[in-house]
Structure 1
Amino acid sequence: MPAKFILITAPAKINLYLGVHNERDEAGYHRVDSVMTAIDLVDTIAVAPADELSVHMVPEADFPMEANTAYKAAVAMGKVFDREPNFAILIDKHIPVRAGLGGPSTDAAATIMGICHYWKIDPMDPRIEAVARGIGADVPFFLYGPPAYLSGRGDAMQEMYRPLTGTAVALVKPLVDGSGVAAAEAYRVFDEYPSEPAPLEPMLEALRAHDEERIFANVANNLGEAAIRISPEIGTILAWMREQPDVRAADVCGSGSTVFAVCNTQMAAEKIALTALNEQGWWAQAAKMEKSGPYISVG
């Protein structure tokens, strides 16, 4: 008897390196170098065949389902493969939005993989990556899972690396509603106050050698300054995180508003998260670096 639905885990990400360049491509997008790794903070997505396409979120979203990246991904898959994407999609949301953790992008990637499962499409089909890139810059990364370097707009896969599985991470962001940072706003502020990216090659060399000490010594994000200008509390959190015991590196996630700290132990990450939540009143979560992208289980 065929399964009635499938469940897909959609992991969040952190940027070990983000370098935004001042020059833009012909479409007006900045050139971006991005090194990302998945973490074990996940959304869970249920996909089932239905009479028509629908997307719902728990907790319920404050925007129409047509604006959801999962909906857009399903529509794009239907157009590319000339089929009706008639699925009911339910997203159990745990990754905060406007947080720099890639929540909308990972939901889109998981939806794409779920439809591949039902339609028996090879996920390595080049049309799949084209669909992903059309939804958003981070979506192609989430199709795979290992740490990766992407160029172009941050959407062109260049290299993948041995996973840093199990490395402890603390995540902290402002708690106040509306304190998130929209990527478009971060780039607008970056254009007002541009800065040069940190050197990329030391990070790539460290990843190729799987030299964790050098990897974490080269964590950098020149878009983080824009996020801090938009939400100064992010800067307060970053300074606080860098002062905590057993922190190997700390920086802003993507365009904000989350700050991550790579920690020596899981206990240290959990202590930072508890202190941030209980004593500072921030949103906080302890996590670990993960090795996989979307994981499908049959319901």
Structure 2
Amino acid sequence: MRSLHGCPAPAKLNLFLHIVGRRADGYHLLQSVFQLIERGDTLDFDLRADGRIHRTNDVPGVPEDADLIVRALQRLAAAYRERHGRAAPGIDVAVHKILPMGGGLGGGSSDAATALMAANHLWQGGFSDGELMEIGLPLGADIPFFIYGRTAFVEGVGEAMQPVDGPDCWYVVLEPGVSVPTPAIFAAEDLTRDTKPVRIADFPEANLLSEFGKNDLQAVASRLFPPVAQAIEWLGQYGAARMTGSGACVFCALPGEAQADQVLGQVPTRWRAWKARSLMQHPLKSLLQNNEL
């Protein structure tokens, strides 16, 4: 096999996001439940013979040498050389982006995770999921989750995960039209950093419309970016609306596709909006296992 095309890189939602402390090095300690959803970017991979790692298409605002995909593959190639005693074959990557940047959906991290899993398969690298997670973690705290590949209760800086049963539901997601820079949110003086920790057993898995917890980053993002606050207020008419990650996207859980369609039909034209079903497992894992790509 010399190519893998149409590899999914699904988005994630933070069903809640609590900041429970801060390490001495400045990294924030969090608790969250990460939920994969059935919407995301797709990537195409083709082997090269010259060892080069190359992104074949432009991604607006993301130079090739700064792209998490390229950087992750460079780290994988270095690990490959160390393990196998020879250079990795090289790879071409085409990225088909539909997820907004600065949306809190983990798009860049998901793309990098998909690249690591696909290249490991094409290169026959033999790296375990745990090893791929270690390779990806220095580039982004969300990358290990996407390699982990299922709904998870997440702690630490994002690297400690335990499986949980997330809701089987549909989400309506609004894109408020702004890109929220994560560093600006975490640097805010009024960010809550001492939320009381919860236990994994506290998460109400069965209640998909539960208002469990909150997003500690939401108040800061809403203050700095008023369109986020406006989207939360509007979507709150239909359920427990909440921002995901550090923003800007806002979501609401609904019990079925018909209800999601009803909400979508009411969305003001100034916002982009879409629906997505919850995912129990990363779709790339089964595709690779069954050689279905």
Compute the TM-score of the two structures, normalised by the length of structure 1.
0.86
CA contact (8 A) 2:88 2:123 kept: no
Per-residue deviation, 1:122: 4.4
Contact 1:171–1:273, Cα closer than 8 Å, also in 2: no
Contact 1:206 1:212 (8 Å CA) reproduced: no
CA distance in 2, matches of 1:139, 1:198: 24
1:57 deviates by 4.5
Once the two structures are superposed, the pairs formed by residues 143-158 of structure 1 within 5 Å of their partners are 143-157=147-161
TM-superposed CA distance for 1:116, in Å, is: 1.3
Task: Report matched runs for 1:16-165 at 5 Å.
Answer: 16-21=15-20, 23-50=21-48, 51=50, 52-57=52-57, 60-82=59-81, 83-84=87-88, 86-122=90-126, 124-157=128-161, 159-165=162-168
Alignment partner of 1:195 is 2:199: no
From 221, 225, 228, give the equivalent of 1:227: 221
Q: Which amino acid aligns with 1:172?
A: L
RMSD of aligned Cα (Å):
2.2
Which runs of 5 or more residues in structure 2 are unaligned? 82-86
User: Do the aligned partners of residues 85 and 95 (structure 1) sit closer, same or farther apart at CA in structure 2, a change above 3 Å counting?
Assistant: farther
Q: 1:288 to 1:125 in 2, by over 3 A?
A: closer
Deviations 1:6-52 (A, max 9, x none): 4310100000121123x422432111222100001111111111232
Distance in 1 of aligned mates of 2:236 and 2:194: 20
TM-score, length-scaled by structure 2: 0.88
User: What secondary structure, in the 3-state scheme, does the structure 2 residue paired with 1:262 have?
Assistant: strand
Q: Share of identical aligned residues, percent? A: 25
* Residues 13, 102 of structure 1: 8 Å contact kept: yes
Give the aligned length: 281
- Describe how 1:263-274 pairs up with structure 2 within 5 A: 263-274=254-265
Contact 2:151 2:281 in 1 (8 A): no
Question: Is the CA contact 2:64–2:70 (under 8 Å) kept in the aligned structure 1?
Answer: yes
Distance apart, 1:93 and its partner CA: 0.6
The worse-fitting range, judged by mean Cα deviation, of 107-116 and 60-69 is: 60-69
Are 2:274 and 1:289 equivalent residues in the alignment?
Answer: no
4+ long deviations beyond 6 Å: none
